[in-house]
Structure 1
Amino acid sequence: MNLTIHGNHLEVSPALRAHIGSKLARIERHFDQVIDASVQLTVEKVQQRAEITLRVRGNNIHVEAAAEDMYAAIDSLVDKLDRQVIRHKNRVQDHHGESVKHPPADTV
């Protein structure tokens, strides 16, 4: 997965990059068909915002989160993203199994 991190009014520190990378490893554990991720970190007066656009096969998933602390915003963002990725994975999976049209004769 290609990871791009941008900061608006914010210097992206190596600790912040490591925190984002470790959190996104959880997403790859659930869904391994991630093409790339673009993270946008923004500081506005009191509010810290984090946005991510995740490109997966067949779709783009965009999630936003805001908090007073950037690390809290990232944690909230990854929780939301995790739920969205699981929803996307369930939609993509083929749920059409073979139906039992005629049960075997030896069953009661």
Structure 2
Amino acid sequence: MNLTISGHHLEVTPAIREYVQNKLERVKRHFDQVIDIAVILTVDNLTEKEKRQKAEINLRMSGKTVYVESLSQDLYAAIDTLVDKLDRQVMKYKSKVQDHNHTAIKHIPDNYEPATTA
């Protein structure tokens, strides 16, 4: 798995890099088929004071690319909400992939009757 962390109008310090890596461990624990992760951390120079920190992520898996972004006043809070959103989407994708193990209708025999409990 390749992890790229970059900053836009921001220097990515070792503390921020380690924080992002520790947070992404949760996603890797839930779903290990991740190919590539690209994290972009941005500081927007807006006139309004709130939601100036932005964190976005592109996560490539086999068969799907997930994009998530988060805005907050604090960069660490933006990273936290970003990982929460990403984790929900990865778990949703994982459940979709795993739920397709049912028997197709065309493979069920004609004389098959489902068991009824009464």
**TM-score normalised to the size of structure 2?**
0.81
Residue equivalent to 1:75: 80
**By how many angstroms is 1:103 displaced?**
6.7
Report the number of matched residues: 106
**By how many angstroms is 1:95 displaced?**
3.6
d(CA) in 2 for partners of 1:2, 1:72: 24
d(CA) in 1 for partners of 2:80, 2:8: 19
d(CA) in 2 for partners of 1:95, 1:78: 28
2:25 paired with 1:19: no
Residue equivalent to 2:42: 42
d(CA) in 2 for partners of 1:17, 1:103: 54
Amino acid in the other structure paired with 2:95: N
Residue equivalent to 1:59: 64
Moved over 4 A (4+): none
Return 5+ residue gaps in structure 2 as ranges.
none
2:8 paired with 1:8: yes
**By how many angstroms is 1:91 displaced?**
1.3
Amino acid in the other structure paired with 2:88: R
- CA-to-aligned-CA distance 1:15-34 (integer Å, 9 cap, x gap): 00000000000001110000
Which secondary structure state, in structure 2, belongs to the residue aligned with residue 10 of structure 1? Answer: coil
Q: CA RMSD in A?
A: 2.2
